[in-house]
Each structure stands twice: as C-alpha cells, then as structure tokens.
Amino acid sequence: MADEHDRPAITLDDAVGVERVLVVTAHPDDVDFGVAGSVVVWVNAGVEVTYCVVTDGDAGGSDRSVPRAEMAMLRREEQRAAAAEVGVRSVTFLGYSDGRLTASFELRRDLSRVLRQVRPDRLVCQSPERHWDRIGASHPDHLVAGEAAVCAAYPDARNPFAHPELLEEGLEPFSVRELWLMAAPRSNRAVDITDVFEVKLAALRRHRSQVGEGEWLDERLRGWFGEGARLAGLEEGRLAETFQVVEMPVVGTS
C-alpha cells in the first residue's frame, strides 16, 4: 500500500475554460461508478459531455439464463438511461467483446475517430496502470481501454499519418489538452460531488442487471468517495471523485 506521504497534492477542479469532455470506459456502468458525480457537476456548469463505451458488457451479470446477445442490448439500454440521469445525451458504443479486449491498432483507430469527432478539451478514461490498493478497479478490460485511449490521445488522434483512413472520412487531427485517469494510483485532482451524490446513485441504479436493487451502493460509495474527499483536504462528510490529471504535449506527434 502506498505511503500517504508519497502521494501528490490533490487540488479541486473548477472546470474553467472547459467546453467539451469525452469519457471513455470499457463497460457500461464503469462511467457511473468512476465519474458520474463529476459529470453532473460539469453538465450543471454548461459543459457538453459525451460517453464512449468500448464493449457492450455482454459478459456481465450473474444470470446464466440470459443469452449474451440479450445482455449486450440490455446493458446498452441501461447505460443510455443512466446517461440521461446525469444530463448526457450522446453515448457511443464501439461493440468490442467484453472480457477479450486488447489495445489493438483497430481500437486505437476507433478511439482516435471519436476524439476527432468530439474534439474535447478533456479526455477522461480508466487508468492503464494497475491500482494495487483497489484491485477491483483494475479489471483487465479497464487497463486495456485506458491504454488504448491514452495511445489515441497521444500520438494517434493528433498524427495525420497514424490512421490515414480518418482523413479520408474528413476527420482532421486533434490534440486534447488534458487527460484525466480514473482509479489511478497517484491522484492529483478532485471534484467535490457531495451535492450531486444522489444523482450519481440514481444513475448507478439504472444498471439493474449489475447492481440489482442497489441497496448496498450508498454505504459503499460513501466509503470510497469519503476517502477521496479526505485526501483532497475536504471537511468530514464531503465526497469527492479523484483523478490523475496529465497535461498533454502541445506540439509534436511522436
């Protein structure tokens, strides 16, 4: 377990100058566990937020009687409903296989396409680095989706020669300014979600195939995000989602 004295200082986000945010996750519900509270804060501040979900989550759930194709459709519906709870209207599904994800050149291309389409100021994705203190957050698909998203952000989406077919589609290169990593071992930024926590819970409860009635969510999430608030120096009783923020290079493709 990391020594607390080795952790970087965590500062609060103010979203000043941010107009568009793209959130990339491996599965439906990942975004709501990791960043839905921050999304509500940003949407309330006038930020346009777009979701990109890499898989359909067809390997999720514990009910073996549900055919996997039906599970994939159900989880898409659940994610759209959860997005609506937090004010997000745009959700893209890439349709990769749940549990078999690799950081392929094809996945990097598809994420580069979404980056060039959305052109966000801020890219939020899962950390490609395993978090040994929170091993449950480091599902192999999470790590892979994070790695592919980071590669798409730098250098692929900004490099006109990385995926020439995107130029043929009329998508010009794009350089994102900020990379926000969820469940990162070294968080340095926080968003106070105390006042929107119930909205986050409402979004998570939309994922009934995964959380059931969700009666356990309140207590568990208050534990997680109460600790995030403590590390950010907020007073007891506050809740915060934390991230590792990386400022992206301004110029250069390689």
CATH number, domain containing residue 86: 3.40.50.10320
Residues 150, 171: Cα–Cα separation, whole Å:
19
Contact 182, 124 (CB under 8 A): yes
Please indicate, yes or no, if residue 253 is contained in any of the structural domains.
no
At residue 250, the pLDDT reads 74
Q: What is the average pLDDT across 162-175?
A: 97
Q: What is the average pLDDT across 111-140?
A: 91
Summarize pLDDT for 201-223 with one digit per residue, the tens: 999 999 999 999 889 999 999 99
Please indicate, yes or no, if residue 31 is contained in any of the structural domains.
yes
Please indicate, yes or no, if residue 252 is contained in any of the structural domains.
no
Q: What is the average pLDDT across 89-95?
A: 97
In this model, does residue 252 exceed pLDDT 60?
no
At residue 87, the pLDDT reads 98
Distances (CA, A) of 247 to 116, 118, 188, 252: 18, 19, 12, 14
Q: Which domain holds residue 51?
A: 4-247
Please indicate, yes or no, if residue 232 is contained in any of the structural domains.
yes
Q: What is the CA radius of gyration of the chain?
A: 17
Please indicate, yes or no, if residue 109 is contained in any of the structural domains.
yes
Please indicate, yes or no, if residue 172 is contained in any of the structural domains.
yes
In this model, does residue 5 exceed pLDDT 70?
no
- For residue 4, name the pLDDT band (cuts at 50, 70, 90): low
In this model, does residue 254 exceed pLDDT 50?
no
At residue 62, the pLDDT reads 66
| Closest CA relative to residue 198, chosen from 12, 10, 3, 40 | 40
| Closest CA relative to residue 26, chosen from 95, 86, 78, 83 | 95
Residues 85, 83: Cα–Cα separation, whole Å:
5
Number of domains in the chain: 1
Q: What's the pTM value of the predicted model, to 2 decimals?
A: 0.93
Contact 162, 227 (CB under 8 A): no
Please indicate, yes or no, if residue 184 is contained in any of the structural domains.
yes
Please indicate, yes or no, if residue 254 is contained in any of the structural domains.
no
